Amino acid sequence: MTEEAFDVMVVGSCMTDLVCRGPRLPKEGETIHGQEFFTGFGGKGANQCIQAARLGARAIMVCKVGEDSYGDRYIQNFKDNSVHAEFVWRTSAAATGIASIIMVNDEGKNLIMIVAGANMLLSGAELQGVLPALRLSKVLVCQLEISPEASLQALRLARHNQVTTIFNPAPAVPDLDPEFYRTSDVFCCNESEAELLTGLQVSSVEDGRQAGQELLRRGCGSVIVTLGHQGCVVLKAQEAAAHHIPTTPVTPLDTTGAGDSFIGALAFYMARYPTMQLEEMARRANRVAGFSVQKAGTQTSFYNKTELPKDLF
């Protein structure tokens, strides 16, 4: 059992992306020639953990993979990115999670099927085994690509042990357990997730403020609603005013994983700069995510600390 202190612990998912690019999407029953095939590393939890690690956080991942070649490769991927993989468990009961992108056409439209596989088998007993490392962590990050019960248990354990929590309700569900709000020091969602959770339309900064206020009323410590090119809105329970954090304009090449880049960066700043205002953390995380959309891919688009402007640190 490790006795090392960590900046960021992520309890969440890892997926292997299978990507095929072609000129157009096939019709039902049709076979067409693709132009390119490649595999990549994904999954919201792993993405967020690796972005935090690349910025310099001491990061540890808690997840489950299959006893297959994809699981082997993913564990090596964590090690290659200096992410501690002590709690990446293996199972023979399911395959490593797969995001099979059947086709991506020249316009960026796609057909996707995700099989969560081993991600859904992370158990409560295993989370109890993580407790010694969790107690030594500064920030815990959770999402909803593993079983909601596992994510909620991790958040409860963190709060009980005075570990700061970030919860990303993705993919969002309309009947989210109310305790998720109460166990979130920072509840971070995008426009579509905010809409599904609150029933309010979110397409502008003012919409983001209203949705964020509704989420605060449900018990969150703070709320961040990300708004794509419009930046994000930050709201804190102890303050009446909401803060709009605009983005630095960029020309995006591929926005895949930008939200995970933002959350991974936010976790890094919360762990390493605990006296920094949340608005400033969000501003810097916005900039980190802005760099990521200028490169192709998911984890392949995440920058290391040495590649980013020094004023971010």
φ and ψ at residue 101, rounded to 5 degrees: -90, 100
* Helix/strand/coil (H/E/C) assignment for every residue in 81-111: CCEEEEEEEEECCCCCCEEEEEEECCCCCEE
Collapsed DSSP state (helix, strand, coil) of residue 57: coil
The token duo for 24 is 């157009």
* Strands 164-167 vs 186-190: parallel, antiparallel or unpaired: parallel
Cis, bond preceding 171 (omega within 30 deg of 0): yes
Single out the catalytic residue among 17, 185, 207, 260. Answer: 260
E strands along the chain, which residues?
6-11, 15-21, 36-42, 59-66, 83-91, 98-104, 110-115, 137-142, 164-167, 186-190, 222-226, 232-236, 243-245
Query: Bridge partners of 99?
Result: 17, 114
68 is catalytic: no
φ and ψ at residue 223, rounded to 5 degrees: -135, 135
Look at residues 183, 192, 189 and name the one whose alpha carbon lies nearest to residue 220.
183
Active site residues: 260
